[in-house]
């Protein structure tokens, strides 16, 4: 299963390569990507998003320029550092509340599958198709 799945909004007015960069940065802030994780290949991204592989390569070069990733010839593109900082960042209050909720759900006897289904249902109510 891929570590990150890119979602491209062609109507956003934001360049596609920047959408990829921002999604990687967000995944790094949230801890979904960590140092050493391998990003999908340009061909994999093209297959799932219908984005030109050169666009993905441009995004990866930007990530490399920012010191967040490195291209290893023949091996792929790898994350070189995290942006996640426990206790800080704009998402911390939300992350903290979600962690508290998860612990409460577990304490009340909900299993992992039940929590995932509850989350999916709540996510669907809040985001509908998952793009907004």
SS (H, E, C) 49-103: HCCCHHHHHHHHHHHHHCCCEEEECCCEEEECCCCCCCCCCCCHHHHHHHHHHHH
Worst-scoring range by mean pLDDT, 27-31, 55-59, 85-89? 85-89
Mean pLDDT of 49-76: 94
Check if the beta carbon of residue 17 is closer than 8 Å to that of residue 60: no
Identify whether the C-beta of residue 63 lies closer than 8 Å to the C-beta of residue 6.
no
Q: Is 6 helix (H, G, I), strand (E, B) or coil?
A: coil
How far is Cα of residue 49 from the mean position of the Cα atoms in its chain?
A: 15
Q: What is the pLDDT of residue 38?
A: 95
Give the pLDDT score at 124.
84
pLDDT of residue 126: 83
CA distances from 20 to 49, 50, 52, 56, 68 (A): 11, 13, 12, 7, 13
Q: Is 6 a residue whose pLDDT tops 90? A: yes
Kindly report the number of other CB atoms within 10 A of residue 50's CB atom: 9
pLDDT band at 130 (very low <50, low <70, confident <90, very high): low
Q: Diameter of the chain by CA atoms?
A: 49
Computed over every residue of the chain, the mean pLDDT equals 85
Cα–Cα distances (Å) from 27 to 3, 71, 82, in that order, read 9, 18, 9
Q: Please give the pLDDT value at position 88.
A: 54
User: For the whole model, what pTM was predicted?
Assistant: 0.64
pLDDT at 115 over 90: no
Higher local confidence (pLDDT), 103 or 20: 20
Both structure tokens of 3: 């570590």
Q: What is the pLDDT of residue 1?
A: 47
């Amino acid at each position: 299963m891929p570590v990150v799945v890119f979602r491209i909004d062609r109507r956003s007015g934001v360049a596609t390569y920047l959408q990829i960069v921002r999604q990687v940065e967000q995944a790094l802030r949230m801890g979904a990507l960590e140092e050493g994780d391998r990003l999908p290949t340009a061909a994999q991204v093209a297959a799932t998003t219908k984005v030109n592989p050169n666009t993905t390569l441009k995004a990866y070069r930007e990530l490399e320029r920012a010191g967040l990733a490195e291209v290893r010839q023949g091996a792929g593109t790898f994350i070189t550092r995290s942006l996640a900082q426990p206790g800080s960042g704009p998402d911390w209050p939300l992350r903290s509340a979600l962690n508290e909720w998860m612990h409460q759900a577990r304490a009340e006897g909900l299993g992992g599958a039940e929590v995932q289904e509850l989350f999916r249902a709540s996510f669907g109510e809040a985001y509908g198709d998952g793009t907004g």
